[in-house]
């Protein structure tokens, strides 16, 4: 249960960071799209 919770927090933080970077640097949107599709 704790592992799933930690995994969810990590994923949420990663997503938040991705959105923040995408907003601050629109040029990085392509890189983030590739990052998500690559998983």
The domain segmentation of the chain, as residue ranges, is 2-38
Beta-carbon contacts of residue 24 (< 8 Å; ≥ 6 apart): none
| pLDDT exceeds cutoff 70 at 18 | yes
Beta-carbon contacts of residue 25 (< 8 Å; ≥ 6 apart): none
End-to-end CA distance of the chain: 23
| CA dist., res. 5 & res. 22, Å (int) | 26
| CA dist., res. 39 & res. 19, Å (int) | 17
Higher pLDDT, 35 or 11: 11
Amino acid 24: pLDDT: 75
- pLDDT (tens digit per residue) in 21-37: 777 776 667 777 777 77
């Amino acid at each position: 249960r704790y592992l799933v919770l930690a995994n969810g927090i990590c994923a949420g933080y990663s997503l938040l960071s991705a959105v923040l970077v995408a907003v601050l640097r629109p040029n990085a949107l392509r890189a983030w799209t590739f990052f998500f599709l690559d998983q």
